[in-house]
Structures are given as C-alpha cells and as structure tokens.
Amino acid sequence: MEHRHFLIHKPYGYLSQFAGEAKKKKLGEFHDFPEGIMAIGRLDEDSEGLLLLTTDGHVSEQVRSKKVEKEYYAQVDGLITDAAIQQLQTGVEIGIHGVKYITSPCAARRLEPAPAFAPRTRKIRDDRHGPTSWVSITVTEGKYRQIRKMTAAVGFPTLRLVRVRVGEIRLGDLAPGAVREVAGFGL
C-alpha cells in the first residue's frame, strides 16, 4: 500500500481527529481522506494552524520525536516583556496532569508587526480589554497545552494560538480548512 500525506490548516473549533464525540467538529468535514489517516500530533480544539496527516505510522513517530521543531505564534494578553521572553527561552515550570514539569529551553521572540491571519470564527475579545501582543515560540517537545501553559507561567495568557511550522514545513498561505496533499514531508 502506498502511503498518503496531507497538510491541513486546522481552524479554531475543530478536533484533531476523524471520529469520536458526535457533537464535535472533526477534520473529516474538510476532505474525503483515505482509510487509516491519522493526525501527527494534535492541536487542541481552541488552537489553529498547520496539522500534518498521514497513513504512515512510522512517519508519525518521526515527526513527534524531539528532533523536529514545532513553531507557534501566540497572541497573548498584554504587551509581552523582554523578561518574559527570556524566561520562555530558558524554560519555565508548568503543570502536566498535576505533575510539575520544567520546559526545555526554546526559541522565543516578539512578533512585530503582528501576523496577518484571517479573523477567527469566534471573536477573541474587544480592544477595550487592553492591548495584546504576539510571540513566536519554537519547541521540540509537545506536552499537553504546553505553549498556553508556558505563556501563562510568565504572566501573559494565550488568547489565540496558531502552529505555523513543523520541521521545514510551513503553514504559509494555506487558508483555514484548506487541505493539500503532498508527496511526503521531507523532514
């Protein structure tokens, strides 16, 4: 059997799966995917961006390894400080299922100007609630809701989270809900 691979821009409000809870929106709504398709890693229902799909479990394991970088753009509550970015870079303590965990050092930087993503289907909040800013965070680990927990740990809760890169594969101009079949991932 020849394996198939896809890129999808997972929109806000969808699960990173194809079956499950009947009332939840799932990825199968966007394309007629082949049998055996699986998401490589996950983006939670509130997160958006690049998601890789494959029918090859070996590729899935390779991408989920700590060797492949994942880059996220996070819109945070408030104007993120240099001190907070430095904390993100060196590692912060977060809780994972009730256990304290120190994140590995990562790349983090302020994004100016803010990225020009399409508006989200559900409004984030009004400007009257104060300023927001954007930060890029690149990690090689992938703990449960890690980026959200990291920004909260340094005092800047995440309002919107978009994965923009996995390894060398970039989200680019792929529109929310769009699917592109690719020959492979070449990570």
Under CATH, to which class is 5-65+168-182 assigned? alpha beta
Which among 44, 46, 56, 82 is annotated as catalytic? 44
> 127: which DSSP letter?
G
Question: Could you tell me which CATH number the domain at 70-166 has?
Answer: 3.30.70.1560
CATH 3.30.70.580 residue ranges in the chain? 5-65+168-182
44 noted as active-site residue: yes
For residue 23, is it left (φ>0), alpha (ψ between -120 and 50) or beta?
alpha
Q: Would you write out the chain's pLDDT as a tens digit for each of its 187 residues?
A: 789 999 999 999 998 888 766 788 888 888 889 998 989 888 999 999 999 999 988 887 777 767 889 999 999 999 999 999 999 999 999 998 889 999 999 999 999 999 999 887 777 766 667 899 999 999 998 888 999 999 999 999 999 999 999 999 999 999 999 999 998 886 6
**How many whole angstroms separate alpha carbon 162 and alpha carbon 40?**
16
| Pairing outcome for strands 93-96 and 70-77 | unpaired
| Helix or strand holding residue 64 (H, E) | helix 57-64
